[in-house]
Amino acid sequence: MNTTLHSFMDIFETAFTDGRETVNLKKIIIPIIQRDYAQGRVDPDINRVRDRFLSSLYDAIVAEPITLDFVYGDIDENGVMTPLDGQQRLTTLFLLHWYAARKSSVSEEDCAFLSNFGYETRYSARYFCKELTRFVPSFEGKLSEEIIDQAWFPLDWQKDPTISSMLVMLDAIDDRFKEVPDLWEKLTGGAITFYFLPIKDMGLTDELYIKMNSRGKPLTRFEHFKAELERCIRAVDDTAAKRVMQKIDRDWTDMLWRYRDAGSGSEEDAITDDEFLKYFRFICDVLCYQGGESPQGKSTDEFDLLTVYFTGEKEKVLRNIETLESYFDCWCHIDAYNSPTDFLNSCMSYTHEDGKIIVDKANKIDIFEDCLHAYADKSGRQRRFPLNRIVLLYAVTSYLRNRDIVTGADYIRRLRSINNLIQNSEDEVSDRIDRNRLPAILRQVDAVMLNGDIDDTIENSFNVNQIAEEKEKKAFLEEHPDKEPLVFALEDHPNLKGQISIVGIDHVDYADRFASLFSCKLDLIDCAMMTIGNYSQQERNKWRHQFASKGMQIAWDELFHKSANIGFENTSAILVELLSKAESFTNDLLTQIIDDFISSCEEASLYPWRYYYVKYKSFRPGSYGKYSNNDVPNKPYMYSVMQTRSQWSSNTYMPYLKEADEAHLSRDSMGQRLVYGDRHIVCQNSAFALRDNETEEVIETMPIQQNEDGIDTENRILVLKQFIEKVTADQPEPVTE
């Protein structure tokens, strides 16, 4: 027997022959062994399948005709066809043709073929189909409700899953096609067809149905997706469709198999469907960025993504098919490595190693596996894969897809540069609709990975400071290749994270010293730097200043990474001067440097603000390293310690007050006064003042001796403590100036 193209109307009474005998197909009967009709089930996945199928049928009616692929079935000697595959499509076509016939008031003779379709799955389904073919609805209300209201419809039929599904589908058909005036004419004109392959005398046993179609459980979401993907590709290139489907079934599945998630079931249930779809989502996001757009606000449904990227203009679809294939193919056979995991372990590490880049310990080294399992949440709607990981994975695949033009040695050096750019472009790596830098960033990644150079024509990509540094380091290493280990060691230090400008390319020989220094206590490093000079940086708002912190790494990151802050070069010079003092550092050495500074200040009776910072712990912020100058410029002693990153709070304090008498420090005044009954003490740049709580009138001041340069010549902490003793002494009247 031959494969032929038919419509649901003309297949009845069609003669089929296998060369020996001819059989006329008279009826189509869904056998008992078949599962229930499922396209009308109320379920999110089924709803989506139903909507898409009806949309395809609608497009076939109002636009271009459609062919629904193969229907397989056995025709017995009586002309009864039993479908082996195609039950769901045939049932929907039966319902659509019944609807069109009744909607267009077609004569009973012209639609008599409908009575030749039926169900044997159970008594109720069989008789429902018979009664439906005789029923003529009014179309004045909801179709399902009108059918249920008929005398021939027993109430318990609603419990039959096939009937309930048919009712849902009829309502959906009515919603979609009610405004189509020539529906019957289009159907009779062959707008919807399918290939029918008759299979003679196969012996359609229960075992055959189970083996051929896994009857009894619905198709998975991935099976629907795979069929839709094949249809999309076949529409532009049949050869490509066959090639892609073969790869999915063989090479790609073999490659993904090691990553299948068997945690929620048996080994037999562990499949690669979810992993495939998550990586497919990554590829589609890349296509979106390469098109100059952002996925933000767009549908993340994989079927919608198929429509966007794999339908439409043939040239675009073919280009995207090529991208899809290359993104999967590149992981299948990596020379000298047994798996993607082995390859990634060879070039990534949590600690500094020759020939590898640093990966944050919060992330997996196997970034490919991470993408397969964590790209989106269980619903598939919310992307969970950070943008910086998307960029890094893109860089790796850029190399894997171009191994014919990029050597392994070039790959790891270039990947290191990309990793440095990513780590130091936290704000720039953004795909907000109003600030989408990912298209430019991915172009820059290609430029670096494929050519080894930063493309200066690409604007608004990575952080400009880091771009400048990467170009500087590249030029330096071309002239001094022997310095590569020192540069890479500096880059990989956790305090630098790829940006070494704070040490400077001219001082890469201090790499070991830097590592030695930062093996010491942070508080001692902080104080040792302050003995050389005020290393802090002023933020753009002019009133907030960045210092180090004894407890939070983020403060050091802010200091050591070039930004819009003022004073980075000064911080660098102070750090380099400290590094120049010794080839290696210990806590004892730093303590000696600090003690010598304190002693020299006290011996000279000169107490610059740095003295107090180094001498008293209260002056050194332990949180984000933030100070405020109280918006009073040119007042070098008027700094308040902040405990938050950007704003004053009740935990803010003037450090002199806290150091002298923390018990009376007022949180209500944000640590700006010491309160004693109805009076309080506040700081001034060269004095302390006692004021009335209500009137704020100054009752008394305690001046601080300073030289002509405005530097204290007496320890103002000791002065303040004496003042407090005087204020709190039992006196008959407050002391006035």
Residue 300 has pLDDT above 70, yes or no: yes
* Largest CA-CA distance found in the chain, in angstroms, rounded: 130
Closest to 491 measured CA to CA, from 472, 513, 508: 508
Q: How far is CA 528 from CA 252, 522, 621, in A?
A: 57, 10, 15
* Token pair recorded at residue 22: 């001819």
Query: Can you tell me the mean pLDDT for 307-313?
Result: 94
Q: What are phi and psi of 15, to 5 degrees?
A: -90, 130
The pLDDT, as a whole number, for residue 583 is 96
Give the pLDDT score at 1.
42
Which three-class secondary structure string do you get for 74-89? EECCCCEEEEEECHHH
Cα separation, 195 vs 6, in Å, equals 6
pLDDT (0 to 100) of residue 49: 77
Tokens of 426: 């936290």
Express each pLDDT in 355-386 by its tens digit. Answer: 999 999 999 999 999 999 999 887 767 889 99
Q: Which 3-state string (H, E, C) describes 406-429?
A: CCHHHHHHHHHHHHHHHHCCCCCC
Bigger pLDDT: 622 vs 2: 622
Distance CA 724, CA 681 (A): 8
Give which of 71, 95, 76, 72 is closest to 25, Cα–Cα.
76
Q: Given this model, what pLDDT does residue 633 score? A: 58
pLDDT at 174: 94
**Which of the four pLDDT bands, split at 50, 70 and 90, describes residue 216?**
very low
User: Residue 206 pLDDT more than 60?
Assistant: no
Is the predicted pLDDT of residue 214 greater than 90, yes or no? Answer: no
Predicted pLDDT at 40? 73
Comparing 205-219, 242-256, 467-481, the range with the smallest average pLDDT is 205-219
| Residue 543: both structure tokens together | 């009133």
Closest CA to 524 of 604, 465, 454, 597: 597
Residue 651's identity, in one-letter code, is N
**For 100-156, what is each residue's pLDDT tens digit?**
999 999 999 999 999 999 887 677 888 899 999 999 999 999 999 999 999 999 888
Q: Mean pLDDT of all residues in the chain?
A: 89
Structure tokens at 654: 């003037």
Residue range 168-182: mean pLDDT, rounded: 92
Among the ranges given (29-33, 78-82, 224-228, 242-246), the one the predictor scored with the smallest mean pLDDT? 29-33
Categorize the per-residue pLDDT at 204 as very low, low, confident or very high, splitting at 50, 70 and 90. very low
Q: How many CA atoms lie within 13 A of 150 on its CB side?
A: 17
Torsion of CA 650, 652, 654, 655, to 10 degrees: 120
pLDDT tens figures, 472-521: 999 999 999 999 999 999 999 999 999 999 999 999 999 999 999 999 99
User: Would you say residue 584 has pLDDT above 90?
Assistant: yes
Q: What is the pLDDT of residue 269?
A: 42
The pLDDT tens digits for 383-430 are 899 999 999 999 999 999 999 999 999 999 999 999 999 999 999 999
pLDDT score for 34: 65
Mean pLDDT check: name the lowest of 199-213, 321-335, 481-495, 653-667. 199-213
- Calculate ∠ Cα 229-443-562, nearest 5°: 135
Share of the chain above pLDDT 70, in %: 92
The answer to whether the CB of 544 falls within 8 A of the CB of 646 is yes
Q: What is the pTM of this model?
A: 0.75
Q: How confident is the model at residue 222 (pLDDT cuts 50, 70, 90)?
A: confident
